[in-house]
Amino acid sequence: MKTFKKILYPFFLLTIVFALFASCSKETGKTVVVKGSTTVLPITQLAAEEFRKETGIAVSIEGSGSGNGVKAIIDGTTDIGNSSRAMKPKELDEAKAKGVNVKEIVVAYDMIIPVVHSENGITDLTLDQLKGIYDGSITNWSQVGGADGNIAVISRDTSSGTYEVWSEKVLEKNDVTAGALLQASNGAVLAAVAGNPRAIGYIGYGYLNNSVKALSVGGIVGTVETGRSGEFPISRPLYKYVNADKVSENTQKFLDFLLGPKGQKLVEEAGFLPL
């Protein structure tokens, strides 16, 4: 289940592009275009590869953040918008104003896991402690039971759906500390934390690997069981958005594949929680 998580993408890229092209489609020859969340990216990549092998239909995937995926659906520049958070009311209003009939599809579930350097002695933090670290009121590891040393706060940037969920569930919609180092992807957060013994970050469950140490939250370990049950306090659905009035035949086939038994098995292989 964890093998795919060990594949890290180039951390210096702000936009991750992964395109799968077939010589021809068995149907219309139209490529299915998917844009958005880097969290949903591994699921989409695995599903697109198997879908192409099975159908000959090409899928082009761009991982540039949930906000960009939502924007692309509203602007009509993608067939599917990936997002690791629900669309905001103002985004839904904008879509309606442009005549876009948004359809929301949950494709998997995820947990956002706080991670530290493998040499850090901390194993558990409460939600209040995480909030303090990320709002800047806790600045030293000794304040949460660790060794003396300033905390290097690593966060996703504000266009990220992962940041949006973290902001809601951990920061209670307060701003992240101005001293935080903002990263554009889960992979970049992993690299930053793995390279700094004083760092803390957060990533989607599907990106966990042995380069960092995962923390439990309030004594609850992030596992498939605690994620599915909602017991882990930083859990979330993962979404694909479409314009219901403009779903092509190939797009629908790809969605049906992902939501079916084969696609949901790939969700699990990517390290996420299937429906």
DSSP state string for the chain: --GGGG-PPPTT-SSEEEEE--SS-SSS-PPEEEEE-SSSHHHHHHHHHHHHHHH---EEEEE--HHHHHHHHHHT--SEEEESSPPPHHHHHHHHHTT--EEEEEEEEEEEEEEE-TT----EE-HHHHHHHHHTS--BGGGGTS-SSB-EEEEE-TT-HHHHHHHHHTSTTPPPPTT-EEESSHHHHHHHHHT-TTEEEEEEGGG--TTSEEPEETTB---HHHHHHT-SSSEEEEEEEEEGGG--HHHHHHHHHHHSHHHHHHHHHTTSB--
Give yes or no: residues 208 and 139 share one domain: yes
The average pLDDT across 80-91 equals 96
Give yes or no: residues 72 and 178 share one domain: no
195, part of any domain: yes
The average pLDDT across 195-219 equals 96
Task: Name the pLDDT band for 230 (thresholds 50, 70, 90).
Answer: confident
Q: How many domains does the chain have?
A: 2
Confidence (pLDDT) at 25: 39
Copy the structure tokens of residue 94: 């904008």
Give yes or no: residues 116 and 80 share one domain: no
Over 50: is that where the pLDDT of 100 sits? Answer: yes
pLDDT tens digits for range 114-127: 999 999 999 999 99
* CB contact set of 265 (below 8 Å; sequence gap of 6+): 274
The average pLDDT across 234-247 equals 96
Give yes or no: residues 101 and 117 share one domain: no
Give yes or no: residues 34 and 89 share one domain: yes
Give yes or no: residues 165 and 224 share one domain: yes
pLDDT tens digits for range 47-78: 999 999 999 999 999 998 999 999 999 999 99
Compare 29 and 31 and report the one with higher pLDDT.
31
Confidence (pLDDT) at 17: 43
Percent of the chain with pLDDT over 70: 89
Over 80: is that where the pLDDT of 1 sits? Answer: no
The overall average pLDDT reported for the chain is 90
Over 50: is that where the pLDDT of 218 sits? Answer: yes
275, part of any domain: no
Chain-centre distance for alpha carbon 178: 23
Give yes or no: residues 30 and 97 share one domain: yes
Give yes or no: residues 115 and 99 share one domain: no
Among candidate residues 241, 275, 253, the one with its CA nearest the CA of residue 68 = 241
Give yes or no: residues 59 and 129 share one domain: no
User: What range does the domain containing 215 cover?
Assistant: 110-229
Identity at 123, one-letter amino acid code: T
The average pLDDT across 75-91 equals 97
Residue 116: strand pairing partners = 200, 213
Task: Name the pLDDT band for 159 (thresholds 50, 70, 90).
Answer: confident
| 170 within 8 A of 142, measured Cβ to Cβ | no
pLDDT tens digits for range 125-141: 999 999 999 999 999 99
Alpha carbon dihedral 103, 105, 111, 112, in 10-degree steps, equals -30
Confidence (pLDDT) at 7: 39
Give yes or no: residues 136 and 219 share one domain: yes
